[in-house]
Amino acid sequence: MILAIDHVTISSQKKKIVDEVSLSVHKGEWYAIVGQSGSGKSLLSQAIGQMLPNNMHAEGKIQFQEHDLLSLPAKQMQSIRGNKLSYIFQDYQGSFTPFRTISQHFNEYLKSRGLSSAKNREELALKAIESVGLDESLYQQYPFQLSGGQLQRASIALALLLSPELVIADEVTTALDSVSGHRILELLAKKQKETGCAILFITHDWRHVRRYANRIAVMKEGKIVEAGGKHRILDHPQHEYTKQLIKAAPVFGNSLPSGLQKVDNE
């Protein structure tokens, strides 16, 4: 087990938003947290990295390897975030400053994490850029010169740069068109197989859950109402809310848009 969330509650001054949530993620697995907007799934993912808004407070225990993340000093948390634990957000554009080149972002990221050699930083960054299917020429361009799909690929390269053991992917395809979204998830699945990292996948899209997840937790109004293996949840849902979500979800089987190569993650 790489991550254990134990009775975590997240509250603002006015109300409780996440209520006594517990779940665990194993090494190398793709764990999906599914729920509609406002269910608390994104706030739960933010609590893992001590990234909650200032008006939110988390209680309980989040165990990552030997660390209790909720009680960890901020400086120590910074050394874990990006090295052993990383995020890919739906707002991939917000991950990049518009008037700094992609190379400057990668260089500063690596420098802040202790890589003192400029040559080593560039070699590592270029290798990461190429590994997500981007041309080396994009390395010197600005974020606004890249397409949405290219920029999301760059954000994946940045997140996987230091081979983290857990990647938290929060609605990573929401801002992309259907074809670009499928390609991004195929890439993420490919990188997961190469690195062996675990993925905590925050989503509302059951099509992606059906294709990629190993296990699933369903959240409603801050609580997990059902959790289990993918096939058990999809084929034999127990909770009425889960049944409603699955029934309402579009179903396209395992087919992908034309030109996309299938990655088997079963």
- The pLDDT tens digits of the residues spanning 92-142 come to 777 788 899 999 999 998 888 877 788 999 999 999 999 888 999 999 999
Q: Considering the domain boundaries, does residue 207 fall inside one?
A: no
pLDDT at 148: 86
pLDDT at 192 over 70: yes
Q: Return the percentage of the chain with pLDDT > 70, whole number.
A: 94
pLDDT band at 264 (very low <50, low <70, confident <90, very high): very low
Q: What is the spatial distance between Cα 183 and Cα 40, in angstroms, rounded to a whole number?
A: 27
- C-alpha closest to that of 79 among 67, 97, 93, 95: 67
pLDDT at 251 over 80: no
138 residue type, one letter? L
Q: Considering the domain boundaries, does residue 157 fall inside one?
A: yes
Q: Considering the domain boundaries, does residue 214 fall inside one?
A: no
Q: Considering the domain boundaries, does residue 33 fall inside one?
A: no
Write the CA distances from 210 to 3, 20, 43, 71, integer angstroms: 22, 26, 23, 35
Domain total of the chain: 1
Q: Considering the domain boundaries, does residue 135 fall inside one?
A: yes
Q: What is the spatial distance between Cα 247 and Cα 227, in angstroms, rounded to a whole number?
A: 17
pLDDT at 254: 47
pLDDT at 13 over 90: no
Q: Are strands 166-170 and 85-89 parallel, antiparallel or unpaired?
A: parallel
- C-alpha closest to that of 144 among 98, 78, 107: 98
pLDDT at 199 over 80: yes
pLDDT at 252: 55
35-76 tens-digit pLDDT = 998 999 999 999 999 999 999 999 999 999 889 999 999 889
Average pLDDT over residues 78-102: 86
Residues 6+ positions from 104 with CB-CB distance below 8 Å: none
pLDDT at 263 over 60: no
Average pLDDT over residues 14-33: 96
**Whole-number average pLDDT of the chain:** 89
Q: Considering the domain boundaries, does residue 10 fall inside one?
A: no
pLDDT at 178: 83
Range of the domain at 143: 101-162
Phi, psi of 11 (to 5 degrees): -135, 150
Q: Which residues pair with 86 in a beta bridge?
A: 167
Of the listed ranges 200-209, 220-229, 243-252, the least confidently predicted one is 243-252
Write the CA distances from 107 to 115, 119, 125, 250, integer angstroms: 9, 10, 8, 42
Average pLDDT over residues 241-250: 91
DSSP secondary-structure letter at 9? E
pTM confidence score? 0.89
Q: Considering the domain boundaries, does residue 154 fall inside one?
A: yes
Q: Considering the domain boundaries, does residue 131 fall inside one?
A: yes
pLDDT at 174: 82
